Amino acid sequence: MERSFKHHTQLYFCKWEEICGIYNYDELRELFDKSDQLYEFEKYNTEEIVPNSWNIIGYDLEDKQYGFIKYVDQLIDVLRFFQDNENFESLVAICDNMTIRRVN
């Protein structure tokens, strides 16, 4: 299947169980909605949902070394971190059986 995106569309490489591919934000949101994990994209009530712990690893420009950078609770926080970080090419986020990185 051929897809086209506007040049400013952020794309993410995602590997999750048997799923592997490149997705934009809307496609990721749809994928998580189908698996009943839309809470990864929305503010959550901590009494109802226990957030996942996403580990962001990569090259830390301040410490000038590779390794752990920070924990975040939701995938939306990961995507925002990727968006705000100039060094996104060296970052990867991992949670349980999912790995994601921004590719452009």
Would 94 be classed as within a structural domain?
Answer: yes
**Based on the structure, what is the number of domains in the chain?**
1
Q: State residue 4's pLDDT score.
A: 67
Please write the tens of the pLDDT for every residue from 20-76.
Answer: 999 999 999 998 899 888 888 886 655 555 566 899 999 877 778 889 889 988 899
Would 63 be classed as within a structural domain?
Answer: yes
**End-to-end Cα separation, the chain, in angstroms:** 20
Q: State residue 80's pLDDT score.
A: 93
Locate tokens 């169980």: which residue? Answer: 17
pTM, rounded to two decimals: 0.82
Would 2 be classed as within a structural domain?
Answer: no
* Helices and strands of the chain, counted as H and E runs: 2, 6
Range of the domain at 83: 11-102
| Cβ neighbours for 16, distance < 8 A, ≥ 6 positions apart | 31, 97, 98, 99
